[in-house]
Amino acid sequence: MLRRTHFLLGIVPVVLLLGLASVSLGDGIDAAPYLRLGAGARSLGMGRAYTAVADDATASVWNVAGLSNVQDWSFTFYTAKLNLDTRHNFLSIAKDVGDAGALAVSWTNYGVAGIEQWVTGDEEAPVSLFDYSSNVFSVGYGHALEDLSIGGGFKIISRGDSLDGGLGSSGSTGFGGLDLGAILYAFEDPESGQDTVRTALSLRNLLGGVGGDSIPVLLNLGVSFKVLKRHEALVSFEIEHEFVDLPESTTSIRLGVEYWLGGVLAIRAGGNHTGDRRSLYAGFGARVAGVQLDYAFRPGDDTLHQLDKNAHYVSLSYSY
């Protein structure tokens, strides 16, 4: 009965906010498309099916309610090299606050440097170089209530570009949006005391925009199952919907798996399907004395024009 009451208390305001999200559809240019990428090689190795799994500093991106699982300190640095020499970087530090909550401060960067401009193609050198960078600074808090965790946060976004190292530069700053989340711990293993089934939801980028461009709202619904035997196996499934007025599908289905060998080595795999676009992921991790190194790989997407090439993701985490 208590779990049901907590779930209802968490779901009612979310339903109201969904109405707000559907009214404020993003119909302009997406101000920060990289926010859909997430952060952390562990989560990407699981096909981005992470809403019900997030329990470290990366929860500030995936589901702020997951920050309530941080016991003391949690630190994550992540970097990735994507298409057209673009870089995606993330840094987050989370700290428990009191007995039932944790606070996280995060920085996300996306950009590219040294894009060459050629006017006719006959020059011996490019006539100019173009740089672009976008930064998001966020604060999030997660709090535990018996078998339910809730969380909230906000983001500030700043972006700019420059020509020839500063000539003709421009920039803008705006509100990156509100993030809300909830996790219900449905079942617990009687021997270990750890939760084995989680259901979760996350609503991100509410009211976000910068420079006249909007940031589409994202809704994620997920469930994860953990098997605690000699080794630990985790299966996660989720659905994401992007509230944006586009002719193609903006709903994706994700599935991810993770298998830990003695709590030291992990192997991961996952997939993401959106309409006619399919992405596959794989990765591994190693953890020693609170330090965890994760790697993930995504081959080029199965799309008609093969616009996306192979991508590599690396992250370093530390928890104690």
Instruction: Give residue-wise pLDDT tens across range 200-209.
Output: 999 999 999 8
Please give the Cα distance from 279 to 258 (Å, whole number).
17
Percent with pLDDT over 90 in the chain: 54
Number of structural domains found in the chain: 1
pLDDT per residue as tens digits for the range 213-270:
889 999 999 999 998 777 789 999 999 999 887 667 789 999 999 999 988 999 999 9
Q: Does the pLDDT value for residue 11 go beyond 60?
A: no
Between 57 and 6, the more confident residue is 57
- Is residue 254 a contact partner of residue 44, using CB atoms and an 8 Å limit? no
- pTM of the entire predicted model: 0.85
What digits encode the pLDDT tens for the residues 99-148? 889 999 999 999 887 676 666 666 666 666 778 889 999 999 999 998 99
Residue 171: give the domain boundaries: 2-319
What is the spatial distance between Cα 209 and Cα 206, in angstroms, rounded to a whole number?
Answer: 9
CA distance 46 to 58: 14
Percent of the chain with pLDDT over 70: 80
For residue 50, what is the domain's CATH number?
2.40.160.60
Higher pLDDT, 11 or 179: 179
Provide the mean pLDDT of the chain: 84
Q: Bigger pLDDT: 123 or 32?
A: 32
pLDDT band per the 50, 70, 90 thresholds, residue 4? very low
Backbone angles phi, psi at 317, to 5 degrees: -125, 155
pLDDT at 200: 96
Phi/psi at 247 (5° precision): -70, -30
Instruction: Please say if the pLDDT value at position 303 is more than 80.
Output: no
Averaged pLDDT for residues 173-181: 94
Q: 150-172: b or e for each residue (b if 16 or more CB lie within 10 Å)? A: bbbbbbbbbbbbbeeeeeeeeee
Average pLDDT of 82-110? 92
User: Is residue 1 predicted with pLDDT exceeding 80?
Assistant: no
Q: Work out the average pLDDT over 281-306.
A: 84
